[in-house]
Amino acid sequence: MASGTRQIWKQYRSVAIIYRIGIAFVLGSVLGLAIGEPATRLEPLGTLFVRLLKMIIIPIVFFTLLMGARRLSPSSIGKIGGQVILLYLVTTAVAISIGLLVGNFVNPGVGLELADTSVQTKQAPDMLEVFMNIIPTNPVGAMADGSVLPTIFFTIAFGLALALLQDEHEPGTTIHDGVQTLFELAETGAEAMFKIVWGVMEYGVIGVFALMATTFGQAGVDAILPFAKLIGAVALAVGLHIGFTYLFVLQWGLLRESPLDFLKGAKEAMITALSIRSSSGTLPVTMNDADENFGVDEEVYSFSLPLGATINMDGTAMYQGVAAIFAANLVGQTLTLGEQVTVIVTALLASVGTAGVPGSGLIMLTLVLTQLGLPLEVVGMVAGVDPILDRLRTMNNVTGDLAVTTLVAKWNDRIDRTKTVWTTTDSPTEVASDD
């Protein structure tokens, strides 16, 4: 009997967690539709999942952002690295803005209400207050209160200060070794938090089942359309960002190359990302495309692409904008301009450190919703459709990595145009490089 139970558990665990959550999403929805109001009795199981998410927010922010700051050491970046990071930040900010614009246009979540109607959002701040509140007067107090944006700001500032100290002192000195120890402790803490995240997501199978049973038990079939609109809004935002930001602005406008040639060279990485839903897993394909299809010098892509797979989260950050609108609509609220600026700032700063976290899109969403004071039940609700959304986000991320890499390589004369996709067109760049 015991061996049979272990075998069942082993088979259950062999299914990827995100698919188990997706199945729980479907089964919970079906149960809610089938039995109606009695399904809302499962709500405490969903509330427990939400409390677990709240528990991990601040530790995740602190440890992972310290790890991210370590990678931004001035001595390891240089001119090319600075250009790469700046473009990553700019394209991420544009991505979030597009997500908010599409979210406001499509308005996903309208017509669906959370079972807990007592949820209240915080008083909306104006834009000046948003920027002033980024800087905490008491960093420890901000962490204790669960204030996400001040915690992010202080952690990044502290991490960069540590990186500068390490660069200024020789190995073997007390300060250099002390900084190294702090970074190693941060890495250990982050790994420990990843284990906790794994446990929370394992329970998330039950939590999502309960949340969806409660939602559909109360709303019935009216809950189906808002989720379809959420998927459509994310797909539209990804299409706009790739088409406008990467192809029109970066490739045609700045690089002066054919967008179709870029898509031809990037298609293997884009298809792989869409298939396996992992920027890191796609990295070998992405680097091969940069080398063979685009002729980018290894000095550029060996830095930009691994870094992009870690911190360049355009698709994930864009999703935060759409999901924030979705969450606000669930409680009958309209995000003010100041609150939407908060989404941009929070997601942009969080993108430095959350890429390596399992379920990073969902974890980042908890940060954004917490900062806005919106219900974290939304995280469990969208987790069920996340396998679809994650494929689109990952493809967007990988496409952005290649678009930025090719542009920086061109700026620094690190492209060999022979036997690449660029040789298929007689572009202004090609004429200039022949001189």
State the chain's mean pLDDT as an integer. Answer: 82
DSSP secondary structure string, 145-180?
HT-HHHHHHHHHHHHHHHHHHHHHS-TTSHHHHHHH
Quick check: 183 pLDDT over 80?
Answer: yes
> Once rounded to an integer, what is the mean pLDDT over residues 33-43?
87
> Once rounded to an integer, what is the mean pLDDT over residues 51-60?
84
Q: What is the pLDDT of residues 348-365, one digit of tens each?
A: 877 765 554 445 677 788
In this prediction, residue 75 has a pLDDT band, given cuts at 50, 70 and 90, of: low
* pLDDT for position 112: 74
| Whether the Cβ atoms of residue 368 and residue 347 lie closer than 8 Å to each other | yes
Q: Which of 20-34, 70-84, 252-266 has the lowest mean pLDDT?
A: 70-84
Alpha helices in 241-278 (DSSP H): 259-276
* pLDDT for position 115: 56
Q: How far apart are CA 83 and CA 71, in angstroms?
A: 15
In this prediction, residue 303 has a pLDDT band, given cuts at 50, 70 and 90, of: confident
List the structure tokens of 231: 């998927």
Nearest 5°: phi and psi at 399? Answer: -60, -40
Q: Which residue has the higher pLDDT, 145 or 281?
A: 145
Q: What is the pLDDT of residues 226-285, one digit of tens each?
A: 888 899 999 999 999 999 999 999 999 998 889 999 999 998 899 888 877 778 778 888
* pLDDT for position 100: 92
Residue (of 378, 357, 356, 381) closest to 369 by Cα position: 378
* pLDDT for position 235: 93
Residue (of 392, 389, 397, 36) closest to 227 by Cα position: 389
Determine the 3-state secondary structure of 296 from DSSP. strand
* pLDDT for position 11: 81
* pLDDT for position 431: 37
Q: What per-residue string of b and e applies to 95-128 under the rule 16 or more CB within 10 Å gives b? A: bbbbbbbbbeebbbbeebbbbbeebebeebbeee
Length of the chain: 435
* pLDDT for position 151: 86
* pLDDT for position 424: 55
> Once rounded to an integer, what is the mean pLDDT over residues 179-202?
87
Quick check: 91 pLDDT over 50?
Answer: yes
Quick check: 427 pLDDT over 60?
Answer: no
Q: Which residue has the tokens 């939304």?
A: 378
Angle between helices 314-330 and 337-350 (to 10 degrees): 140
* DSSP assignment letter at 396: H
List the structure tokens of 229: 């609109």
Which positions ≥6 away from 59 have C-beta within 8 Å? 189, 193, 196
Q: Which residue has the higher pLDDT, 24 or 426?
A: 24
* pLDDT for position 123: 52
* pLDDT for position 110: 79
* pLDDT for position 90: 92
| Whether the Cβ atoms of residue 138 and residue 47 lie closer than 8 Å to each other | no
What percent of the chain has a predicted confidence (pLDDT) above 70?
A: 89
CATH 1.10.3860 fits 17-427, yes or no: yes
* pLDDT for position 73: 64
Q: What is the pLDDT of residues 106-133, one digit of tens each?
A: 999 877 776 554 444 445 455 566 678 7
* pLDDT for position 360: 66
Beta bridge partners of 296: 415
Longest alpha-carbon distance in the chain: 78
Which positions ≥6 away from 138 have C-beta within 8 Å? none
In this prediction, residue 134 has a pLDDT band, given cuts at 50, 70 and 90, of: confident
Quick check: 30 pLDDT over 60?
Answer: yes
